[in-house]
Homo-oligomer: A and B are copies of this chain.
Amino acid sequence: MMSEKTCRLWLPRLGELAPAACDTPQSVAEYELKAGCAALGMPAPALVEDADMGEAYAFREGGAGPEIVGGPTGLLYGAYAWLEAAVCGEALPEGTQKPFYGLRMLNCWDDASGDIERGYSGRSLWFEGGRMAWDDGRVRQLARALASVGINVLCVNNVNVRDEAALLIEDYLPDLARLAAAFRPYGVKLMVSIDFARPVAHGLDTADPLDERVQRWWRDCADAVWQAVPDLAGFLVKADSEHRPGPFTYGRSHAEGANMLARAIAPHGGVLVWRAFVYNCQQDWRDAKTDRPMAAYETYAPLDGQFDDNVILQVKNGPFDFQVREPVSPTLYAMPNTRLAMEVQLAQEYTGHQIDLYAMNPMWRELADQLPPETVDAVAAVGNLGRDWNYTGHPFAAVNLFGFGQYAWNPWVDPERVIRRWVRLTYALPGGQEDALTAMLLASRETYERYTAPLGLCWMVRPGLHYGPSPMGYEFDSWGTYNRADRDAVGIDRTSKGTGYAAQYPEEIRAGFEDLERCPERLLLFFHRLPYDYKMPDGRTLIQRIYDDHFQGAEEVDAMARTLEGLDLPQPDRDEALRRMAMQQANAREWRDVINTFFHRMSGVPDAHGRKIYD
């Protein structure tokens, strides 16, 4: 049993961490089963390797008792699945178990300085002061957690490659190799974010992807990198985005840029993950024609079919940037001849900073229901990890790391089942309390949505910080993030009568979004500009619906606080969760009052129920 002062995650009832001598997935699987079964007081199943099965596994009755059969990492995944089922008291699944997505990636936005961009769990686990440095036990504990939910690729540095982070593929290769060795026994391969313009730092006068010297530079670089880390998963690139360099500097397309890098690393089996987060971050707010959500589609859809086989285009789940409520990105529908990864964000940048509760599986399930999961080849999640004692700041935020792994393995997995599993593995609460915590987490996203920006409006957050309300904070800025609220109406018309954004979707979906009757209520103000007295399907006016949601959202948080108070959580989780809940209550009240006051000042309409709206 792990000490309660250290990491809890969802592993506390497994055995001790395997020693470093266990340096293959098979040996870790064996160790985990032995130690775990001993801790649980039950016999361990036998492991039978079938190399052809790769990451897959199956449970079966062998001659001498239960067996797990699987490929090298399949055995490891099978071992965790077996132990988790035992802890949870669940039946073992029948038939071969294999992941839906082959690439299940975590992207860490860690800077070489040790800061984490949009990190809410402390400093980097493997960078500090411009160098790589880590606690081996903590890193292996994390590797174990990732393996236990099947995450198999970890990009170790921020997509914004700054300062010494560029040295990861140069002077720091020995460190990278050592870190790779710590993750390797858990079936986790590393990936590295690179700087597209790096050759210029080495004396070349260009980073033009069509320049032979540049191509040679990257080939030489890749040779050195894969010599140091032969199983490196690949490179991740953010180019021509938010002031990062890229192919546009040289008049080249993103296919030309990505393919050049892909060809340098192809001989080593690497994949080139290219982020599709390109938009004009110098927009003039006066320009009502340009509509930022349209940017990725405009840039990438015409390039469909032009990317090499080892290029993966990584597209954020929505067309903006991890807002609480966005439609699925139209780019994901538009590139059938391109390998796509969908990117989600575990770091709660816009969703409560790991202070407010926000369990994400319900959102991912909505995505799976809207977008056929086979549309994409891979999934990537921006990490929510850091050096905090519990890795995730809020102890409950671990549910999103756990849940992402389960989602990546099976996109249709029931969100409630995932959350209940995490609760049971982590806390072993009495039945009624387990139900209460599961229900609270399951509803947490809807609650958060109610008290923040209404009905798909997005971006009513404090600029820069992205926590707390600021209804006009982004209104006159250059980021393309406007709500254009005035005394009569709010929202942007993104139908064919407006910016035309909706036309980027397949026809049936477009028609649904454009039709006020069929447009999902939660996205109403994403697609439509509506007067405050617009009648909603349930008969309420738009403004009344905004007020109601905000009063209700804040009330729900108060109810959550009462529920939390009644849970027999172990320490220090209980104190940490209660402390953060008090902050969430204050945040929810602030959102409620600021949003209601803002729209009251705009509309002049009083609340139909006479509740307090401040002047």
Q: Bound complex: CA of A601 vs CA of B470, how far in Å?
A: 17
Q: Do A486 and B601 contact each other (CB < 8 Å), given the known contacts A469-B476, A476-B594, A594-B476?
A: yes
Nearest CB on B from A603, distance (A): 7
A487 to B604, CA, bound (A): 7
Among B285, B288, B473, B601, point to the contact of A487 (Cβ < 8 A). B601
Residue from B471, B476, B486 in contact with A604 in the complex, judged by beta carbons closer than 8 Å:
B486
* Chain B: minimal CB distance from A53 (Å): 56
A484 CB-CB contact with B under 8 Å = yes
Interface residue A593 (Cβ < 8 Å from any Cβ of B): yes
Residues A574-615 near B (CB distance < 8 A): 590, 593-594, 597-598, 600-604, 614-615
- Complex CA–CA separation, A600 to B484 (angstroms): 12
* A488→B604 contact, CB < 8 A: yes
Q: Is the CB of A615 within 8 A of B484?
A: yes
A466 to chain B, nearest CB (A): 14
Asked if A487 meets B614 with Cβ closer than 8 Å, knowing A476-B469, A476-B470, A594-B476, the reply is no
Give the copy number.
Answer: 2
The contact size tier of chain A is 20 to 34
- State whether the Cβ of A286 lies closer than 8 Å to any Cβ in chain B: yes
CB neighbours (8 Å) of A600 from chain B are 486
Cβ of A139 within 8 Å of any chain B Cβ, yes or no, is: no
Give bound CA distance, A285 to B597, whole Å.
11
**A485, CB-defined interface residue at 8 Å:** yes
For the residues of A in contact with B, the DSSP-based class is loop
Assembled-state Cα–Cα distance A558/B210 (Å): 45
Which of B484, B488, B601 meets A485, CB within 8 Å? Answer: B601
A486: B residues at CB distance < 8 A: 600-602, 604, 615
B288 x A615 contact (CB < 8 A): yes
- Whether B470 pairs with A614 at a CB distance below 8 angstroms is no
| C-alpha spacing A349/B472, complex, angstroms | 23
Q: How far is the CA of A141 from the CA of B485 in the complex (A)?
A: 54
Interface residues of A in 460-511 (CB under 8 A from B): 463, 469-473, 476, 484-488
Residues of B within 8 A of A614 (CB): 285-286, 288
> With a CB–CB cut-off of 8 A, which chain B residues contact A590?
476
By a CB distance below 8 angstroms, the chain B residues around A288 are 614-615
Chain B residue, CB-CB nearest to A471: B472
Contacts of A471 in B (CB 8 A): 472, 476
Contact B484 A487 (CB under 8 A): no
The listed residue with most B CB atoms (<10 A of its CB), out of A286, A590, A602, is A286
Q: Nearest B residue to A485 by beta-carbon distance?
A: B601
**Which residues of chain B have C-beta atoms less than 8 A from A615's C-beta?**
288, 484, 486
Q: How far is the CA of A614 from the CA of B476 in the complex (A)?
A: 11
Chain A residues in the interface with B (C-beta under 8 A): 285-286, 288, 463, 469-473, 476, 484-488, 590, 593-594, 597-598, 600-604, 614-615
17 A-B pairs besides A470-B473, A487-B601 with CB distance below 8 A are A286-B593, A288-B614, A288-B615, A470-B472, A471-B472, A471-B476, A472-B473, A472-B598, A473-B473, A476-B590, A485-B601, A486-B600, A486-B604, A486-B615, A487-B602, A487-B604, A488-B604
